[in-house]
Amino acid sequence: MYARRRHVYFAMMGACIALFVLAWGVVRLWSVPAAVAMCVVAMVIPPLAAIVANRRGPEDRWWDDPSGDAQSDEWWDELDGRKGPRNRDRP
């Protein structure tokens, strides 16, 4: 799923760059308002691309989900303040 989001992100950013280049390289020769409108559309694409790329999928592991390794999960829980410090045998 990560690869699909990455491909969509790069496609959206490629469209953004293409809009800017076409707007000021080609379209402005015929219509400056159309070129400005293309740039406004291109301006909206990067935030949307970032939202798409960072969206969590249903099968993605979230940062605080247990990993399945009991020792690692206990260590992270202690760091996050969810559990008290472990009892260790110290001489």
CA 13 remoteness from chain centre: 12
User: Distance (Å, rounded) from C-alpha 54 to C-alpha 8?
Assistant: 11
Enter the pTM of the model: 0.61
Q: Render each residue's pLDDT in the chain as its tens digit; 91 residues.
A: 678 888 999 999 999 999 999 999 999 999 999 999 999 999 999 999 999 888 877 666 566 666 777 887 787 777 767 676 665 555 5
User: What is the spatial distance between Cα 41 and Cα 22, in angstroms, rounded to a whole number?
Assistant: 12
Q: Give the pLDDT of residue 20.
A: 95
- Distance (Å, rounded) from C-alpha 36 to C-alpha 59? 40
Q: At what angle do helices 2-25 and 32-54 cross, to 10 degrees?
A: 170
